[in-house]
Amino acid sequence: MRLINRRPDRTTALLLALLPFALVILAYVLGSAARLAENPADKLLPSLATLADAIGRVALNPDARTGDYLLLNDTLATLDRLVSALALSTAIALVTGMLIGMLPAVRALLAPFVAMVSMVPPLALLPILFIVMGLGEASKVALITIGVTPFLIRDLAMRVEELPREQTIKAETLGGSSWQIALRVVLPQIAPRLIDAVRLSLGPAFLFLIAAEAIAAEAGLGYRIFLVRRYLAMDVILPYVAWITLLSVLMDYALVRLRRALFPWYGGRSA
CA atoms within 13 A on the CB side of 94: 20
Map residue 220 onto helix, strand or coil.
coil
Q: Tell me if 53 sits within 8 A of 60, measured CB to CB.
A: no
Residue 195 has pLDDT above 60, yes or no: yes
Work out the widest C-alpha separation in the chain, in whole angstroms.
79
Over range 135-163, report the average pLDDT. 93
Q: What is the pLDDT of residue 41?
A: 86
Angle, helices 234-262 vs 48-59, to 10°: value is 70
Q: Average of pLDDT values for 167-172? A: 87
- Quick: pLDDT tens for 213-267: 988 888 899 999 999 988 888 999 999 999 999 999 999 999 999 999 999 888 6
pTM above 0.75, yes or no: yes
- In whole angstroms, what is the distance from residue 13 CA to residue 67 CA? 45
Q: Are 266 and 196 in contact (CB under 8 A)?
A: no
Tell me what pLDDT residue 135 has: 84
Average pLDDT, whole number, for the chain? 91
256 vs 174: which has the higher pLDDT = 256
Are 256 and 199 in contact by the 8 Å Cβ rule? The answer is yes
Quote the CA–CA distance of 79 and 202 in Å, as a whole number.
Answer: 12
- Topology of domain 63-262 in CATH is MetI-like fold (1.10.3720)
